[in-house]
Structure 1
Amino acid sequence: MYLSLFAVLACLSSCHGSFVEDEKKENHCDVLKQLLESSAVAVELRKNGFHRELVTSVELSPDDLRWVRVLLVHRWPRGVYVDPYQLASLSDHRDWQILINSAIDLELPAHKTSGFITYVYPAPDGPTPRLIKVTIPIHTRYHEPSFDGEAFTAVEIEPPKLLLRAEKCTQLHSFEPHTVVEAPCTHKNLSTCAWLQLPHQQDQGSVSVQVPVGDESLVIPVCAGTLLVTMICCVGLSKYMWTHRIV
């Protein structure tokens, strides 16, 4: 009799645990659905010159975000770069982590480089806040001289893609037509996870950086002037050394 009672209690406990687990999964998926429908991403540029800051703001509507992980995927054009050494020095003063998909040469001009991707993880070790703000220092590269006399060239920076996932929500195919993409689970890049991508919003416009460039039509005058000044200086220096018998 006691054995039968124990078996019944064990079965009820198992069923209750399974029910609770299913309910958690459903709650996690419900939160993701709300986020896909109401979240917003905005970007803005701060500072001037060759050294700027790109500020990304993300607003998430549900109040309970304990299970939600957020990932911002930036596809950077070749006209700008981020400095890995600078980011490492600032790691103790920010609440986000970043993963860069390739090595970055800080010295190359824009026409000799290619774009790259960064994965930004806001609040990786804590609960996700409703309002996320990530400030990334960026730097513009030197460009080729202009052939048409233009003094500036524009570098367009697109807003990042917003990816979301929840630990307990694994049936992502049920979120069609939303896109499911594979991306690193964390900034340590040890494994990949399935993420839901927020649909592109019409008001998410790119931001433009105006970079000064040289004038190709002035190459010959500049080279000729440089050569002439160099020759005059050499003649003057030689005359001075001959006059003062400097050997």
Structure 2
Amino acid sequence: MAGGPRWWRRRGEGLLGAGLAALLCALHVQAACRDTTVMQELLKEGFHRDLLVRAELGVGEDAGRCAVAARTRLPPGIYVDPYELMSLQQQNLTKAVLTPDVIDVEAPEYLATDLLVLLYMKPDPRCSRCFRATLPVHGRYHRPAEESEEVLVVLKSPEVLICCCDSRLLAECWKPAEVEAPCSGKTGGPCQWYSITHKPVYEETTLQVPVGFRQHSSLVCVVTLLATVLCSSLILAAVCRYGHLSLAAASE
């Protein structure tokens, strides 16, 4: 019976030591896993804009050797021109992967689908833990509205991904992400991307797209028809009046 209290005391000391170790470990992980700050904004005006994404990483590892990307889903009201993107990638101005890669740039908003974009980010020389990227986006035509002269297209905050193929990963901070894309600058196969917990400066960004009034549809159709008939008549009259001159010149 004399050893009973001593055994309980040793057990209590062991539990206290384990609790302190777990607390120190949690504090260490919390210090290393600081929140990443993400901000996105639309530059320029009108239908043709630039989507700017900036991220300040809060992880403790050296992120300069890692590939950082922003994964965002564009709604049907916004699209990326794949030919324009190809030209920019050839000039090494931007790099992105589109899903799907075949995009109908002429489709209106109500016939289009969402677009998943993986946008590779470049280090910001003004900040050691900052990355940024710019992507040209374009607004689609929408159906005429009843009362408003514009509609709002909402862009959600992007997901920040990191791929450190040559450095140690902090598994406590990052969650594995399913991304079938290689790290930027890597020639081998796809490597493991991780999703970083981040804190967006703004939860969403909006694009204002001008639209017409639905009650003006009949007027627009009539004016368009009259303009088409007038232009066709002028072209036909010019052909009838000067067509013989062109034939004579061609015979000579």
Pick the TM interval, shorter chain. Answer: 0.5 to 0.7
Q: TM-score, normalised by structure 1?
A: 0.68
Q: TM-score, normalised by structure 2?
A: 0.66
Displacement of 1:110: 0.9
Q: Distance in 1 between matches of 2:191 and 2:67?
A: 11
Contact in 2 for aligned 1:43/1:57 (Cα 8 Å): yes
Letter paired with 1:106: V
Question: 1:72 is matched with which residue: 70, 94, 102?
Answer: 70
Matching residue of 2:142? 143
Displacement of 1:164: 1.9
1:1-247 aligned at under 5 Å gives the runs 34=32, 36-61=33-58, 62=60, 64-94=62-92, 96-102=94-100, 103-123=102-122, 130-146=129-145, 148-167=146-165, 168-169=167-168, 172=171, 175=172, 179-183=175-179, 184-186=181-183, 191-201=189-199, 203-227=201-225
The alignment-based identity, stated in percent, is 29
Gaps of 5+ in 2: 1-27, 245-252
Deviations 1:121-178 (A, max 9, x none): 2349xxx9522121111111111111x2211000111221001232254684xx37x5
Matching residue of 2:13? none
Gaps of 5+ in 1: 1-29
Q: Tell me the matched-pair count.
A: 208
Q: Cα 1:220–1:70, aligned 2, differ >3 Å: closer, same or farther?
A: same
**Cα RMSD for the two superposed structures:** 3.8
Q: Distance in 1 between matches of 2:235 and 2:95?
A: 57
Contact in 1 for aligned 2:80/2:137 (Cα 8 Å): yes
Q: Cα 1:224–1:200, aligned 2, differ >3 Å: closer, same or farther?
A: same
Displacement of 1:236: 10
Displacement of 1:237: 10
Q: Distance in 1 between matches of 2:120 and 2:170?
A: 22
Moved over 6 A (4+): 187-190, 229-239
